[in-house]
Chains A and B, each alone.
Chain A
Amino acid sequence: MSALEHAPCGYIAFRDDQRICDINGEAVRMLERPRAAVLGLPFSELLAPRTRIFFSTHVYPALILRGELREAYVSFLKPGGQELAALLNAVCRMPDERMLLECVFLPMKRRRIFEQELIEGRRAALASARAEQSALEQLRSAQSQLAVQDQLASLGMLAAGVAHEINNPLSYVAANLELLEEQLRERADASDMQSLLAEARQGVLRIGDIVRSLRTLSRVEEQAQQLSVDLRNVVDVAARMAGNQIRHRARFEVENFSEPLHVRGDAGRLGQVLLNLLINAAQALPDNRTENEVVLRALREDDSAILEVHDNGPGIAPEVLPRIFDPFFTTKPVGVGTGLGLSVCRSIIASLGGTLNVHSAPGMGALFRVCLPLVAATAEQPQTEHADAPPARPSAAAERRVRVLIIDDDEHVTRVMARALREYDVCVLNDSGRALDLLAREPFDVILCDLMMPNVTGIDIHRAIGRTNPELAKRFIFLTGGTFNADADAFLSATQNPHIQKPFSTSHLHAACAGMAQKNGA
């Protein structure tokens, strides 16, 4: 009799012919089989059929190969046909020439239930942890969006202020350059200087663009553009402008669309976006890699026009991806990027009712995708004020001197304007507080008036004149360095008077004055 006879677990031993040679009292009790009937029986005959397959194909071979087996679930068959689920441990020994296989087992119905509960519990806990995690992530992303919006709002204030400050000096730099160019044009020996000036003027135009993009960030939008533009022209222009820079580093492929793609917007702004994306794509590519490629594609999807800029560079790291549209976020070295480019691009596209998205993964390059709603074609936009239109010379000025009053607190601005309008009889006023007095005393055909001035603003002056002399009020042309408050915005959109954005070109100034003088019969 085995020492295990009264142990609180089932014990069965069998030989390599599977015949049972020992069984303890607990096993006899649990299996409800008399000892005599069990001894000599093949072990597998004690097992339920479903266990037999598992036992013979997995448990038994593993036991012989490894010499032991821990915690296998098996099911014994009781004579009545019921099953006894048990947890089996076994060892295989060689006490003599023949293998001896010894098993102990414990019923495990209750344990099975516990285990099942544990598994279910764990799954539920995991699911709820996952749900909590995703709720937290949502909260975090909402918070970061709020933070970005905060950042944008304060940035907007700052940007509008900076833009305004820059636009005044920029106006007279631009105008002076233009005047210089004009004067040099008459001298045959000055072509070198002319080209230097032309370059300088290009620089000024770029500064003007940058300042305008800062204003875009401030979200103090200029009046919504009701004109449409064919995106294909934007693609052509941007591809031409960026082409050289890209072809230095990569193959550049442009697939423009075959039919018109009219979207709401401004060719300059959209071009700025596309140019930005193209330059970014080129800069993302590694140096001296032959397979470098940038693809620009315009296409149509349902009611949307799509612009795609794809590069096959290293792609954008997943941790960087969510932040690339944040203002001031840049991966470029100090001095290369301001971190405003993509942020501005997205603002511009959003203001036109579109979306700008990115798809990228490490090693997969990056795809920037602009989606803009298609609109019915309207008349194409007039050329922007920077167009090199020949200056309109006021012929009327020769007949009778048109009187122009310039009101601006910045002396440099007034000086350059006076110089640009020297064909006219120009009067300059830097102190806006004296404007009403002067206007009451002297007649003027055109009043060029800055909108934002300390103490008395252009709006104040215009309102006062409107009450006393409505005819004179119609002769106002407003100058703005970028509006950054709601009052000024509302005023400009309500007024019938023209306004000129700083920095302005002299030709534009001329044209505006001439137009006003003509209207007034001067």
Chain B
Amino acid sequence: MFEPDYRVVTFDYVGSGRSDRSAYDPVRYGTLEGYASDLCDVLAALQLEQCVFVGASISGMIGMLAAGREPARVAALVMVGTSPRYIDAPDYRGGFSASDIAGSLELMHDNFIGWASDMATTAIKEPDIARELEQGICALWPHHARQFVEVAFNIDLRASLPRCTQPVLVVQSTHDDIVSDEAAVYLAQHLPRGTLRYLSGAGHCPQLTRPNELGRLIGDYLASMPEHVK
């Protein structure tokens, strides 16, 4: 959608997609900063200047951390379904309790770490095939996915929001089970240059459920940007 007018760069975070599995380091990726460092590396490697970073969900926060470190490389940010904190706090509604997060991790364990990995190795002796089977069951690598969820859902970046210098488009779907409306409003309000736009009934993954509407929204926002960003 954006390719005719923009240079579009996409990448997989370590631990997902086609990223190098051996690069996964549980210490480095024990905090979001590890992912932000990777993003800075990507920006530097491609020598990107004044780019617009579009991140869905937790990726929006990773983008903000990277933009804070490399202000010259990032001109603006788009955060889709992003929350600065998922767990409720006094005067703040993230949408989840700490026990919800713990229960979710347990459920993920049951879904692909417990049964799939325990039994896949029984059925097939070759470990490589077993891994492929396991990967077939879940698109993400189970152990990494678990840590990723653990890291992502325990963040609290509320204090970092006022330090973000770039303009930010915050896209919030109605019926997003992950990001509460309150969290999205908090995000847009506490980012010094935040703008909030709603997408109706799109859920947590509007890029999958409403790609065209999301694209249009982002397109309109970029059109309002100064010329050099495009």
Cα–Cα, bound, A57→B104 (Å): 11
Known: A17-B202, A18-B201, A53-B96. Contact between A58 and B140, CB under 8 A?
yes
Interface flag for A283 (CB, 8 Å): no
Contacting pair B205 A73 (CB below 8 A): no
As a 0/1 sequence over residues 46 to 83 of chain B, the CB contacts with chain A under 8 angstroms (1 = contact) are 00000000000100000000000000000000000000
Chain B residues with Cβ below 8 Å from A56 are 176-178, 203-205
A161 at interface (Cβ–Cβ under 8 A)?
no
Complex interface bits, A41-54 against B, C-beta within 8 A gives 1, otherwise 0: 01010011111111
Q: Which of B96, B145, B175, B177 has the most CB of A within 10 A?
A: B177
B179 CB, nearest partner CB in chain A, Å: 9
Using A49-B96, A115-B115 as known contacts, say yes or no to A73 and B175 having CB atoms under 8 A apart: no
Q: In whole angstroms, what is the CA distance A236 to B153 when docked?
A: 67
Asked whether A48 lies within 8 Å of B204 as measured between CB atoms, the reply is no
B100 within 8 A of A: yes
Contact of B178 among A19, A53, A74, A119 (CB under 8 A): A53
CB neighbours of A65 from chain B (8 A): 139, 208
Does A332 reach chain B (CB closer than 8 Å)? no
Of the residues B106, B139, B209, contact of A99 by C-beta under 8 Å: B209
Across-interface contacts of A64 in B (CB, < 8 A): 205, 208-209
**Count of CB-CB pairs between chains A and B under 8 Å:** 102
With A18-B203, A51-B104, A60-B203 in contact, is A122–B122 under 8 Å at CB? Answer: yes
| Chain B at the A interface: SS class | helix
Q: A58-B108, A58-B140, A73-B111 are in contact. Are A53 and B100 (CB under 8 A)?
A: yes
Known: A52-B178, A54-B111, A60-B203. A16 touches B209 (CB 8 A): yes
CB distance from B97 to the nearest CB of A (A): 8
A62 and B108 contacting across the interface, CB-CB below 8 Å:
no
Which bracket fits the contact residues of B? Answer: 35 or more
**Residue B114 at the chain A interface, CB threshold 8 Å:** yes
Binary contact readout A93-126 vs B (1 if CB under 8 angstroms, 0 otherwise): 0000001000000000000100100110011000
Min CB gap A405→B, angstroms: 79
Cα distance A71–B114 in the bound complex, in angstroms: 13
The answer to whether the Cβ of A320 comes within 8 Å of any Cβ in the partner chain is no
A115 to B107, CA, bound (A): 14
Contact A54 B118 (CB under 8 A): no
Question: Are A60 and B110 touching (Cβ within 8 A)?
Answer: no
Which residues between 113 and 167 of chain B lie within 8 Å of chain A, taking CB atoms? 114-115, 118-119, 122, 137-140, 145, 149, 153
The reply to whether B115 and A60 form a contact with Cβ atoms under 8 Å apart is: no
- Please give the distance in Å from B16's CB to the nearest CB on chain A: 11
Please name all residues of chain B whose beta carbon is closer than 8 Å to the beta carbon of A55 when the two chains form the complex.
Answer: 177
Report if A362 contacts B (CB, 8 A): no
Within 8 A of B (CB), among A389-408: none
Question: With a CB–CB cut-off of 8 A, which chain A residues contact B178?
Answer: 52-53, 56-57
- Beta-carbon contact of A54 and B108 below 8 Å: yes
B101 at the A interface (CB under 8 A):
yes
For B139, B176, B204, the residue with the greatest tally of chain A CB atoms inside 10 Å of its CB is B204
**What residues of A have a CB within 8 angstroms of the CB of B175 in the complex?**
17-18, 42, 44
What residues of B have a CB within 8 angstroms of the CB of A123 in the complex? 118
A72 CB-CB contact with B under 8 Å: yes
Shortest Cβ distance from residue B2 to the other chain A in the assembled complex, whole angstroms: 20
Report whether B204 and A57 are in contact in the complex, using a CB–CB cutoff of 8 Å.
yes
Chain A CB within 10 A, most for which of B104, B200, B202, B210: B104
In this complex, how many residues of chain A approach chain B with their Cβ under 8 Å: the count is 37
Tell whether A61 is near chain B: CB-to-CB under 8 Å: yes
Q: How far is the CB of B71 from chain A (nearest CB, A)?
A: 30
- A52-B177 in contact (CB<8A): yes
How many Å from the CB of B49 to the closest CB on chain A? 32
Contacts of A66 in B (CB 8 A): 139
B103 at the interface (CB under 8 A from A): yes
**A343 at interface by CB-CB < 8 Å:** no
A56 to chain B, nearest CB (A): 4
The listed residue (A60, A70, A75, A118) touching B107 by CB distance below 8 A is A75
Q: How far is the CB of A20 from chain B (nearest CB, A)?
A: 12
Report whether A50 and B100 are in contact in the complex, using a CB–CB cutoff of 8 Å: yes
Query: In the bound complex, what is the Cα–Cα distance between A197 and B25 (angstroms)?
Result: 71
Residues of A contacting B137 in the complex (Cβ-Cβ under 8 angstroms): 70-71
Interchain CB contact (< 8 A) of A53 among B104, B114, B203, B208: B104
Residues of A within 8 A of B107 (CB): 50-51, 54, 73-75
What mask results when residues 280 to 303 of chain A are scored 1 for a CB within 8 Å of chain B, else 0? 000000000000000000000000
| A60 touching B205, Cβ below 8 Å | yes
The residues of B that contact A74 with a CB separation of less than 8 Å are 107
CB of B192 to closest CB in A, whole Å = 29
| Distance, CA A58 to CA B203, complexed state (A) | 13
| A53 contacts across to B, CB distance below 8 A | 96, 100-101, 104, 149, 153, 177-178
Report the bound CA distance from A57 to B150 in whole Å: 12
Assembled-state Cα–Cα distance A112/B104 (Å): 16
11 A-B pairs (CB sep. < 8 Å):
A17-B202, A44-B175, A51-B104, A52-B104, A53-B104, A56-B205, A57-B57, A58-B138, A60-B208, A72-B111, A122-B119
Apart from the given pairs A52-B104, A57-B57, A72-B111, 11 other A-B contacts in the complex at a CB distance below 8 Å: A16-B203, A17-B175, A17-B202, A18-B203, A48-B103, A50-B102, A55-B177, A56-B204, A60-B203, A60-B205, A64-B209
Which B residues are closer than 8 A to A by beta carbons?
57, 96-97, 100-104, 106-108, 110-111, 114-115, 118-119, 122, 137-140, 145, 149, 153, 175-178, 200-205, 208-210
Q: Taking beta carbons and an 8 Å cutoff, which residues of A are in contact with B?
A: 16-19, 42, 44, 47-58, 60-62, 64-66, 70-75, 99, 112, 115, 118-119, 122-123
Question: Across chains A and B, which 9 residue pairs bring their CB atoms closest together, nearest first?
Answer: A50-B103, A17-B201, A53-B104, A56-B204, A49-B100, A50-B104, A44-B177, A64-B208, A52-B177
